[in-house]
Structure 1
Amino acid sequence: MTDLLIPFQFPFMQNGFLIVTLIAPAAALLSCFLVLKGWALLGDATSHAVLPGVVLAYMAGIPLLIGAFLAGLVCALATGVIGDNSRVKRDTVMGVVFSGMFGVGIVLYTQIDSALHLDHILFGDMLGVQSADLWTAGAISGAVTLGLMAFWRDILAHAFDPVQARMIGLRVGLIHYGLLVALSATVVAMLSSVGIILAVAYLIAPGAIAFLLVRSFGAMLVASVVVALLAGLTGTYAAFWLDAAPAPTIVLVLTGMFLLALAGRRIRQPG
């Protein structure tokens, strides 16, 4: 029994458990709205698009999180503007914008000589997070969580029917772009832990799993947070014994949970 508690005795593991606990609520709540609105690809696009912002921030000598946030916001806004003013479907625009920005980031990275580790940016470094990373992730995640919980009914109305939401007096534009800002901020909060590439799993899987498990949106919000916390803590714990990177292990746990939820849904509703 004592051996099972060994991972909790190491400070780097304690930080790993803490960082996933901090980022899980915001990512999980946001994933519900992304799944509901069909914005799953936008989460993927935004997480990839922060790379050029990180590199440019490093070159300019400013905090990397500022560059990441601005780049993610530019990607989200550009996708919306192009999608609203062209005949090209929004998912196609997302693919073009995020792949273009990701390519720019890779090219910029190869042109500089730095101590910036690309692996840590892409895949995260959960076991190497410092106190500053924990404070930053906690502050951003807390702000996003409070914002989503305070306005979830308005966001839900906008997600189901923007036209009806406008008719009842909701500020649809503010809700739309506020959600994009929350998305970019959440990606930034996850930058030091799960990294750019794997952040998309946290932005989609908890909401998708909760959607399969419950029937009401309120319950979906609660279930998604439970799923994200359970997957994060379980994946981090398992990674210690498997001698594997925590972030990919968490993604595998989320994938397994999704498959189990899908199988359970098919058993309950075989037709």
Structure 2
Amino acid sequence: MNEIIELFSFAFFRNAMLAALLSSIIAGIVGSYIVARRNVFISSGITHASFGGMGIAYYFGWPPFLGAGIFAVLSALGIEWSSNKGGLREDSSIAILWSLGMAIGILFVFLTPGYTPNLMGFLFGDILTVKVSDLFWLAGTAACCILLITLFYQAVVAVAFDIDYAKVTGLPVQTIKYISAAMVAIAIVLSIKVMGIILVLSLFTIPAAAANLFAKNLNKVMVGAVLISVIGSLSGLLIAYFLDLPSGATIIFTLTILFVILKLVQFFK
């Protein structure tokens, strides 16, 4: 117990714990929306497409996550536009942007003169290197997610579960979908620092899927997903530290174990 208390004397560990907490709030809210809309594949496409922005940013000497954020938002809006107005099937547009983003990222990283950056942190995350500036971005995004879902909950539910009803009632469906896609993209990119491109989608889907076992209303699913994500992320971070394991992979493994336990509880209930 004393060893755990001593850990909080280190700034890097306090930052990591706060990052895990804020990422869990974001993932719980946004992930529940993704699962409700059955948009997991779209989110995966946005995640991998963002790597193109990282590669471009490295080439021009910009902050990599700025490039990733811009590329991710443009990819999200592009998927929504092409599937609704461009006459292209949604799965086709996702596959195109997914592979194009990864290809662009690899090419620009290769073309970057001088030192080639270590891509492992971007692919698998490194929560122990989170900076105070990263925490401000995560906190701002978490606050935006809470505010938007509080103010526009009914509209979000209508678009997520019954888009025809939403259109009949006069809701600006396309605008809501574009804003939601942009928020999903931003949330995913900011969480890449914690989980990495490869694992971040699991952070957004596993807690929501686990909460969905016991709750059917979207607001209850979101609350449950946040709680499950917080428990799994903080526990996984502590386990990773004491066993000297990769933090991102350990957090996802812990969340998966929690999901299995909750599934068994539901089964024997």
Structure 2 length as normaliser, TM-score? 0.92
> 1:251: which partner in 2?
252
Mapped to 1, the partners of 2:185 and 2:123 lie a distance apart of: 16
> 2:137: which partner in 1?
136
- 8 Å contact from structure 1 (residues 125, 192) kept in 2: yes
- 8 Å contact from structure 2 (residues 79, 93) kept in 1: yes
- 8 Å contact from structure 1 (residues 7, 237) kept in 2: no
Return the letter of the residue paired with 1:91: D
Deviates more, 1:14-23 or 1:113-122: 113-122
Mapped to 2, the partners of 1:253 and 1:95 lie a distance apart of: 30
- Render the CA deviation track for 1:171-196: whole Å, top value 9, x for unaligned: 11111001001011102221322222
- 8 Å contact from structure 1 (residues 43, 203) kept in 2: no
Return the letter of the residue paired with 2:137: T
Q: What stretches of structure 1 of length at least 5 have no aligned partner?
A: none
- 8 Å contact from structure 2 (residues 52, 100) kept in 1: no
- 8 Å contact from structure 2 (residues 29, 145) kept in 1: no
1:25 Cα shift? 1.0
Mapped to 1, the partners of 2:3 and 2:228 lie a distance apart of: 26
> 2:224: which partner in 1?
223
Percent pairwise identity: 25
Return the letter of the residue paired with 1:11: A
- Render the CA deviation track for 1:144-179: whole Å, top value 9, x for unaligned: 332223212211111111121121121111110010
SS at match of 2:194: coil
Question: Is residue 25 of structure 1 aligned with residue 12 of structure 2?
Answer: no
1:115 Cα shift? 5.4
Deviates more, 1:52-61 or 1:35-44: 52-61
- Render the CA deviation track for 1:183-238: whole Å, top value 9, x for unaligned: 11102221322222211111211211110122322211110110111111111111
Matches within 5 A, 1:140-179: 140-179=141-180
- 8 Å contact from structure 1 (residues 124, 194) kept in 2: yes
Mapped to 2, the partners of 1:15 and 1:203 lie a distance apart of: 21
Q: What stretches of structure 2 of length at least 5 have no aligned partner?
A: none
Return the letter of the residue paired with 1:196: I
> 2:5: which partner in 1?
5
Return the letter of the residue paired with 2:56: L
- Render the CA deviation track for 1:241-267: whole Å, top value 9, x for unaligned: 110111111110111122222222333
> 2:188: which partner in 1?
187
> 1:203: which partner in 2?
204
Mapped to 2, the partners of 1:144 and 1:188 lie a distance apart of: 14
- 8 Å contact from structure 1 (residues 121, 191) kept in 2: yes
Question: Is residue 80 of structure 1 aligned with residue 80 of structure 2?
Answer: yes
> 2:38: which partner in 1?
38
1:114 Cα shift? 3.4
- 8 Å contact from structure 1 (residues 30, 148) kept in 2: no
1:3 Cα shift? 3.5
> CA RMSD, aligned part only?
1.8
1:4 Cα shift? 4.3
Return the letter of the residue paired with 1:33: Y
Mapped to 2, the partners of 1:71 and 1:184 lie a distance apart of: 9
- Render the CA deviation track for 1:80-117: whole Å, top value 9, x for unaligned: 233334464x2343233212311221222122233532
> 1:64: which partner in 2?
64
Question: For residues 5 and 96 of structure 1, do their structure 2 counterparts lie closer, same or farther at Cα, with a shift above 3 Å needed?
Answer: same
Mapped to 2, the partners of 1:177 and 1:116 lie a distance apart of: 33
Question: Is residue 119 of structure 1 aligned with residue 120 of structure 2?
Answer: yes
Mapped to 1, the partners of 2:24 and 2:150 lie a distance apart of: 14
Mapped to 1, the partners of 2:252 and 2:2 lie a distance apart of: 27
